[in-house]
């Protein structure tokens, strides 16, 4: 019996360690306090506690983690790859989609977007796509902001990801963009593992004899877009997120799925109103966020810095194992109960004839 009580006391005191403050220097104090309050609520024992296995966060990519103006990064990769292919094979310039790229005809590309994305890198290996993506992320300068894509990841979101990781959350990126391109980009910039990237997947074909996989000319269904995001989350993760962040109506299904988690969620709806970024409104999305009571993150109000790299301790250390004074009393009280119970058991046993 005493061993059981000791085990209970150890479990209680071992998990109920004091909460280390989150350091989110690129967030406004008000926004940082709200995020910290939620993390405190769900990672310390209590009625809203979320066990580690259920700490799942899903974040949109374009406009949520990285700049999406004037072009989506994965679309830029496809356009640049077509230019590379034409340089190798000038005869390819006669293809209507190649002509659209070379002439800057974005209307034709958007009208035939799925066909274009498949055409751009059809038959290429994963290694080729990965290496090309990484080079472009570091070399291509965004014409609006004068920085390469790798430097246009929002600093506040980097700090949030690090804070979540430090507290046992599994962070997934859920995007309409091409999964292989995004996986290469995020591993290079944020060290997010490819298995934690859920995107619109191009079907790959495997040649057993050569031991090489190549992109085919079809997408896996459904595309990771709108309702497809929720489908992919359940299919790949098998559980619903407790934290989600997005910036458009395309993210509403993913954000709403947090209500199915069974826990108290935190949902972040980003508003592009910062004068140093591309200011643009998405009124339907923001209206839905208000209706659901989600946390609207104004980039102008809540992002103190847009880009950069976090300070080494920006996310804070993982929770300390040192016990606060109140928890010492709890532990000592449990220990006293255990010792007393052990004494009583031994007395009863010794009193038996």
128-149 pLDDT, tens digit per residue, is 999 999 999 999 999 999 999 9
Task: Give me the percent of the chain exceeding a pLDDT of 90.
Answer: 79
pTM exceeds 0.75, yes or no = yes
Poorest-confidence range of 46-50, 149-153, 230-234, 325-329?
325-329
Whole-angstrom Cα distance, residue 321 to residue 326? 14
Q: What is the pLDDT of residue 309?
A: 85
CA atoms within 13 A on the CB side of 247: 23
pLDDT category at 281 given cuts 50, 70, 90 is confident
Label residue 63 left, alpha or beta by phi (over 0 means left) and psi (-120 to 50 means alpha): left
Please state whether the peptide bond connecting residue 222 to the residue before it is cis, i.e. omega within 30 degrees of 0. yes
Alpha-carbon separation of residue 69 from 20, 36, 65, 277 (angstroms): 37, 30, 12, 9
Q: Across the chain, which distance is largest between two alpha carbons, in Å?
A: 102
What is the model's pLDDT at position 51? Answer: 97
At 206-223, the pLDDT tens digits run 999 889 999 999 999 999
Q: What are the b/e assignments for 214-243, b being 16+ CB within 10 Å? A: bbeeebeeebbbbebbbbbbeeebeebbbb
Closest by CA position to 70, among listed 80, 60, 62, 82: 62
Run of H or E residues at 346: helix 325-351
Can you tell me the distance from the alpha carbon of 337 to that of 142, in angstroms, rounded to the nearest whole number? 66
> How far apart, in whole angstroms, are the C-alpha atoms of residue 98 and residue 135?
21
Flag whether pLDDT at 152 surpasses 60: yes
Domains, the chain, in order of start with CATH, read 2-11+324-351 (no CATH), 19-302 (3.40.50.1000)
Q: Given a cut of 80, is residue 69 above it in pLDDT?
A: yes
Average of per-residue pLDDT across 99-118: 96
Beta bridge partners of 267: 244
- 3-class secondary-structure state, position 247: coil
Burial bucket for residue 257 (CB in 10 Å: 0-12, 13-18, 19+): buried
User: How is residue 216 annotated by DSSP?
Assistant: E
**Contact between residue 240 and residue 234 where contact means Cβ atoms under 8 Å apart:** yes
pLDDT tens digits, residue range 217-264? 999 999 999 999 999 999 999 999 999 999 999 999 999 999 999 999
List all residues 6 or more positions away from 82 whose beta carbon is below 8 Å from its beta carbon.
Answer: 97, 98, 101, 119, 120
Lowest pLDDT segment from 17-26, 140-149, 267-276: 17-26
DSSP 178: E
69 in the Ramachandran plot: left (φ > 0), alpha (ψ -120 to 50) or beta? beta
Q: What is the pLDDT of residue 5?
A: 39
- Between CA 212 and CA 218, with CA 213 as vertex, the angle to 5 degrees is 155
As given in the structure block, the two tokens for residue 132 are 């090309």
Q: Which runs of E-coded beta strand occur in 52-119?
A: 56-59
């Amino acid at each position: 019996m005493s061993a059981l009580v000791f085990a209970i006391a150890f479990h209680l005191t071992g998990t109920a360690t004091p909460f280390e403050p989150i350091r989110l220097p690129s967030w406004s104090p008000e926004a940082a306090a709200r995020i910290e309050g939620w993390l405190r609520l769900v990672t310390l024992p209590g009625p809203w506690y979320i066990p580690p296995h259920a700490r799942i966060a899903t974040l949109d990519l374009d406009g949520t983690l990285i700049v999406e103006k004037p072009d989506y990064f994965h679309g830029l990769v496809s356009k640049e790859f077509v230019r590379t292919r034409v340089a190798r094979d000038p005869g390819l310039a006669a293809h209507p989609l190649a002509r659209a790229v070379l002439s800057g005809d974005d209307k034709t590309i958007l009208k035939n977007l799925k066909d274009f994305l498949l055409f751009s890198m059809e038959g290429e290996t994963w290694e080729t796509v990965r290496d090309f993506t990484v080079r472009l992320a570091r070399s291509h300068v965004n014409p609006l902001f004068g920085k390469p894509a790798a430097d246009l990841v929002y600093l506040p979101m980097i700090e949030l990801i690090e804070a979540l990781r430090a507290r046992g959350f599994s962070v997934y990126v859920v995007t309409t963009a091409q999964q292989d391109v995004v996986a290469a980009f995020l591993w290079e910039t944020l060290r997010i593992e490819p298995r934690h990237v859920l995107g619109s997947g191009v079907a790959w074909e495997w040649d057993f004899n050569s031991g090489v996989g190549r992109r085919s000319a079809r997408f896996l269904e459904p595309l990771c877009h709108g309702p497809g995001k929720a489908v992919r989350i359940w299919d790949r993760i098998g559980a619903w997120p407790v934290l989600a962040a997005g910036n458009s109506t395309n993210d509403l299904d993913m954000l709403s799925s947090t209500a199915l988690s069974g826990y108290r969620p935190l949902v972040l709806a980003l508003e592009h109103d910062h004068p140093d970024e591309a200011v643009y409104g998405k009124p339907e999305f923001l209206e839905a966020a208000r209706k659901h009571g989600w946390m609207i993150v104004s980039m102008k109000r809540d992002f103190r810095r847009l880009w950069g790299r976090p300070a080494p301790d920006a996310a804070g250390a993982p929770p300390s194992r040192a016990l606060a004074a109140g928890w010492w009393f709890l532990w000592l009280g449990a220990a006293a109960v255990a010792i007393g119970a052990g004494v009583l058991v031994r007395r009863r046993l010794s009193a038996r004839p």
